[in-house]
Amino acid sequence: MSAPPSQGFPPVSGPGPRVLVLGTLPGAESLRRQEYYGLPRNRFWWIMGQLVGATPELPYPARIARLAEAGVALWDVCHSAHRPGSLDAAIDRASIRPNDIQGFAATHPTLRMVACNGATAATLYRRFVTLDLPMLRLPSTSPAHAGMAAEAKLALWRAALHPVLASPP
């Protein structure tokens, strides 16, 4: 591999997260913008807008603040990996350096659940992470996962996150 590996972002979280949403690794547009889920066609911010008011129209820092207020933390399973382009299928599995998700959980004892954004995030989570927390694989918000309508994705995300986010911290 001649190109350096893609590097992920640090976690974003408020002081008492109840849900940790894990992606795989930021795509090219997210890296360019230095924002989680920076591709405008990705439905993540639309879903978070429906669930906790972190709408895509808000400036990025305001979206992150809304997530933190609602008890949602964001991170990725991969700290770094070689990936030409933005598709999860292109990640060179042998090059993956995982994030210290166990360490994050240890310093955030309010966590009640891990929600993996898509099948690849869930697969990598199972490979690299050992936590005594429920983990749910949710449908990917990526435009590459076009086989499911946005409203159906929203319904599944709502059903998974609402019980945890609606309960007191």
Question: Chain centroid to CA 164: how far?
Answer: 16
42 is catalytic: yes
Nearest partner of 88 among 138, 23, 32, judged by Cα: 23
Catalytic member of 24, 42, 120, 142: 42
For residues 114 and 66, give the distance between their C-alpha atoms in angstroms, rounded to a whole number.
18
Beta bridge partners of 11: none
Q: Does residue 49 contact residue 153 with C-beta atoms inside 8 Å? A: no
- DSSP 3-state assignment of 140? coil
**120/116 Cα distance (integer angstroms):** 8
CA pair distance 23, 114, nearest whole angstrom: 11
Token pair in block for residue 108: 């955030």
Contact 55, 107 (CB under 8 A): no
**Which residues does the annotation mark as catalytic?**
42
